[in-house]
């Protein structure tokens, strides 16, 4: 594919994407496609590379039916092929940093001494944050993952609907996240649009490029 074709393809996919309001409950995302989307989540960028998140994939129909009431009645969580709950740990400390350092050593075969400064600087930064600041920082990292997921899904022809309209405490209870020391931040439904969804054919409403892009 030429560079021009790649540019056109990406813009076409991004224009095709919209926040799907009605999914076709009979269509499921193929296993291979879903595996690719999970890898897209794993490959998402994060501050310090710390990956302060867990992605909870919900496919069990009975559980998703319970999530509807915790989503203010939004049926997407029941009708979509997959539901991803983007969660963060309730605490982020030196133990997590050490775990990441060990993974770096394993993946890159890097000697411990070369990572000592990275570990010290990262731990120092986290220690400088209050509990609330740390939670907010982790939530911002999660939104990086959400953006990567939305774009990746669009490229693969999978519809999505990101959702902030839900009750986190109820999600945490229904999914057992509290027992895993996790808390939900944002939700994204994924699947295929229903032909009756009127929003699928509506023009995308965006400000003009010169109103949102500042060139210095």
CB atoms within 10 A of CB 130: 8
pLDDT at 152: 98
CB atoms within 10 A of CB 153: 23
pLDDT at 84: 98
pLDDT at 86: 98
Instruction: Work out the burial of residue 180: count CB atoms within 10 Å of its CB; fewer than 13 is exposed, 13-18 middle, 19 or more buried.
Output: middle
| 123: Cβ contacts below 8 Å, ≥ 6 apart | 94, 97
pLDDT at 110: 83
CB atoms within 10 A of CB 134: 21
Domain residue spans of the chain: 18-93+129-212
Residue of 136, 108, 180 whose CA lies nearest to 47: 136
Collapsed DSSP state (helix, strand, coil) of residue 159: strand
Query: Span 18-93+129-212: which CATH code?
Result: 3.40.109.10
pLDDT digits (tens), the chain, 216 positions: 677 799 999 999 999 999 999 999 999 999 999 999 999 999 999 999 999 999 999 999 999 999 999 999 999 999 999 999 999 999 999 999 999 999 999 999 888 888 999 999 999 999 999 999 999 999 999 999 999 999 999 999 999 999 999 999 999 999 999 999 999 999 999 999 999 999 999 999 999 999 999 999
pLDDT at 2: 76
pLDDT at 122: 96
């Amino acid at each position: 594919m030429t560079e021009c074709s790649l540019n056109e393809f990406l813009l076409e996919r991004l224009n095709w994407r919209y926040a799907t309001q009605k999914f076709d409950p009979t269509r499921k995302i193929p296993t291979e496609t879903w595996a690719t989307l999970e890898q897209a989540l794993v490959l998402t960028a994060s501050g310090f590379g710390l990956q302060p998140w867990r992605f909870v994939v919900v496919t069990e129909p009975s559980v998703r039916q319970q999530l509807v009431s915790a989503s203010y009645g939004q049926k997407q969580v029941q009708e979509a092929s997959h539901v991803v709950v983007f969660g963060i740990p309730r605490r982020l400390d030196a133990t997590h940093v050490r775990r990441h350092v060990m993974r770096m050593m394993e993946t890159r075969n890097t000697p411990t001494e070369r990572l000592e400064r990275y570990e010290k600087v990262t731990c120092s930064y986290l220690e400088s944050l209050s509990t609330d600041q740390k939670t907010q920082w982790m939530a911002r990292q999660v939104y990086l993952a959400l953006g990567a997921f939305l774009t990746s899904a669009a490229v693969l022809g999978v519809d999505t609907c990101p959702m902030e309209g839900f009750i986190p405490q109820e999600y945490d209870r229904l999914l057992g996240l509290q027992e895993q020391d996790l808390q939900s931040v944002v939700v994204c439904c994924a699947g295929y649009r229903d032909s009756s969804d009127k929003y699928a054919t509506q023009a995308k409403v965006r400000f003009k490029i010169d109103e949102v892009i500042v060139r210095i």
